[in-house]
Amino acid sequence: MGSSPLPLPHIAVFPFMSKGHTIPLIHLAHLLHRRRLATLTFFTTPLNAPFIRDSLAGTDASIVELPFPENVPDIPAGVESTDRLPSMSLFIPFTYAVKRLRPHFERALASLPTVSLLISDGFLGWTNDSASKFGIPRLVFYGMGNFAQTVSCKVAVYKPHAGVTSYDEPFMVPGFPHIWLTRSDLEPPFDDPNPDPKDPHFQFIVEQTMATGASQGVLVNSFYELEAAYVDRCNTEGVPRAWCIGPLCLARQTSPPAEKTGWMDWLDSRQRMNRPVIYVAFGSQAELSAAQLQQLAIGLERSGLDFLWVVRAKAMDLGQGFEERVMDRGRVVRGWVNQMEILHHGSVQGFISHCGWNSVMESVSAGVPILAWPLMAEQKLNAKFVVDELKLGLRVRPSGGTPNGLVMSEEIERSARELLVGEKGKEAAGRARNWAEAARKAMDGGASWLTLEKMIEEVCVKRTTENAIVSAALVTAA
Ligand code: UDP
């Protein structure tokens, strides 16, 4: 009698409801499918399901929709993702709403055939208890790099900023004598050495951190070579283990889209004219103020550079007559673009970015240098890593020495030109190309490729094998 091969492990994936946290897990789904490493079920809510369903096309992943709670204080009806929140100040109430998915999630989990692993977002700490209840290991996905993760941990534990008296006085990060930060580099509650234990944001962070600590590991969208010192430090000192399996944006084999957008045609025209383009985009949720958008418009206009600018706020005024005046060398897109496709276009040679970690990984993978303009979350740490450590970019500085002040048009004009046509920009571009090659290798048989396999073997397959043996024993006994 021939033995049939063991079934592939089945993984439940539960992303947090924001694009930046969902997109890399979708890439992971494509990778696991293509490499025949696992089958998948994705958990989401009804209004997020269409995006996930479209993005998972071509995989055999199934989707379970959990009903989003109604009548949640402060959260407008019909909002099921952070990019639709009227303001990011509603983030914490949003997480309370999301927590109410738990009974639905557990009922759905119970109805699935054997689940070998739960991969859930770091902001869904409560899923750790659900996984434990069902005896399923959980890996956490934060969507952050190792640098930001390690530095934040060191600061939170050792409080080196307790000894400074102002937001711009530098302090050293314990264990990393070459890293100096100021409190302005950190977001609340991390910027405060003695956060109020009753602060809901602080409580949220503590809760997620405890749940991460109790999980089986952290999946990181990065590759070993890029952040070796920080990965090693995480894995020798930190619990639980970090598995670097990225850049996940390279997981999918890209094929040309069925229909070409106007802006991709326009980029083609720039390439034919041998004119480099600077791409300007700030991710899926950050909003620039009207005053800041106008400074950016003036800076781009005065720079004389060709640019492609993605503006989230559809009705936002960029200054009278701006779009007409720059028509022959600039494009403004209001809406969703395929950022990966843009960054890989041969004409795009610089990226003005807020340094969300996905954008950093996408720029690194495409070999495009960055003009770092961090806005929120861990973006200032990412910007520091990109500029000071990887040296593949430059940074804009807000006016008046205040970290959250306006970035004036003169600064934008000067630094954008330096990135695209200056000496420093050329050096950064050379390094970016080298990193792109390293990223490709990591995903194509290199460290990330092997780590993913190892993770499945250690965390997942073992359990499936044990289950198969237990199930076989039960069947035999019956
Ligand atoms: N993105 C995109 N098109 C858009 C806006 C964003 O494809 O019009 C993608 C971008 O490529 C990245 C993600 O959305 O994968 C944004 O994640 P990131 O970490 O850069 O920033 P966040 O939105 O989380 O601040």
Q: Cβ neighbours of residue 470 under 8 Å, at least 6 residues apart?
A: none
Q: Are residues 247 and 272 in the same domain?
A: no
Distance, CA 209 to ligand 1 centroid (Å)?
24
Within-domain flag for 102:
yes
DSSP symbols for 215-278: SSEEEESS-GGGGHHHHHHHHHH-SS-EEE---GGGSSPP---SS--HHHHHHHHHHHTT--EE
- Does residue 355's CB lie within 6 angstroms of at least one atom of ligand 1? no
Residue 403 lies in a domain: yes
421, 341: one domain: yes
Using CA positions, which residue lies closest to atom 13 of ligand 1? Answer: 20
Give the max Cα distance, the chain: 80
Residues 238 and 310 in one domain: no
* Residues 216, 343 within the same domain: no
pLDDT of residue 401: 67
Whether ligand 1 lies within 6 angstroms of the CB of 359 is answered as yes
| Calculated CA dihedral for residues 362, 331, 350, 421, nearest 10 degrees | 170
| Angle subtended at Cα 149 by Cα 203 and Cα 280, rounded to the nearest 5 degrees | 105
Q: Whose CA is nearest to atom 17 of ligand 1?
A: 20
Whole-number pLDDT of residue 242 = 95
Residues 106 and 232 in one domain: yes
Both 214 and 325 in one domain: the answer is no
Q: Is residue 4 part of a domain?
A: no
pLDDT digits (tens, 9 = 90+) for 264-320: 999 999 999 999 999 999 999 888 999 999 999 999 999 999 999 999 876 678 888
| 1 inside domain | no
Q: What pLDDT sits at residue 471?
A: 40
In the chain, how many domains are there?
2
284 lines ligand 1 (CB under 6 A): yes
**Does 252 sit in the ligand 1 pocket, CB within 6 Å?**
no
Say if residue 66 is in the same domain as residue 168: yes
Q: How many Å lie between the centroid of ligand 1 and the Cα of residue 271?
A: 24
pLDDT of 463: 55
Q: How far is CA 251 from CA 12, 48, 76, 219, in A?
A: 19, 22, 35, 15
Q: For ligand 1, atom 2, which residue shows the shortest CA distance?
A: 339
Domain that holds residue 369: 263-437
Residue 379 domain-assigned? yes
Closest ligand 1 atom to the C-alpha of 283? 23
Please indicate whether residue 362, judged by its CB atom, sits closer than 6 Å to ligand 1. Answer: yes
Q: For ligand 1, say whether the CB of 247 is within 6 Å of any of its atoms.
A: no
Residue 258 in domain: no
| 352 plus 453 within the same structural domain | no
Q: Which helix (H) or strand (E) holds 421?
A: helix 409-421
**Residue 187's domain is classified under what CATH number?**
3.40.50.2000
239 and 270 co-located in one domain: no
User: Could you read off the pLDDT of 224-240 as tens digits, one per residue?
Assistant: 999 999 999 888 887 78
What is the position in ligand 1's atom list of the atom closest to the CA of 340?
Answer: 11
Q: Which residues of the chain have pLDDT under 70?
A: 1-5, 254-255, 314-315, 401-403, 461-478
Q: Which of 421, 437, 453 is the last residue of a domain?
A: 437
Atom of ligand 1 nearest to the CA of 249: 15
Indicate whether residue 356 lines ligand 1 (CB < 6 A): yes
Say whether both 306 and 224 belong to one domain: no
**Ligand 1 atom at minimal distance to the Cα of residue 335:** 8
Task: Specify the residue with its C-alpha closest to ligand 1, atom 8.
Answer: 336
Is the overall model pTM greater than 0.85, yes or no? yes
Question: What was the pLDDT predicted at 468?
Answer: 47
Euclidean distance between the first and the last CA atom of the chain, given in angstroms as a whole number:
21
129 and 57 co-located in one domain: yes
Is the C-beta atom of 363 inside 6 A of ligand 1? no
Among the listed residues 223, 265, 269, the one whose alpha carbon sits nearest the alpha carbon of residue 244: 223
Look at residue 274 in the predicted model and tell me its pLDDT: 97
Same domain, 212 and 291: no
Dist. CA 268–CA 348, nearest whole Å: 10
Residue 2 lies in a domain: no
Residue to substitute in 28, 51, 142, 359 for testing ligand 1 pocket (most ligand atoms within 8 angstroms of CB): 359
358, 360, 378: residue to mutate for ligand 1 pocket, most atoms within 8 A of CB = 358
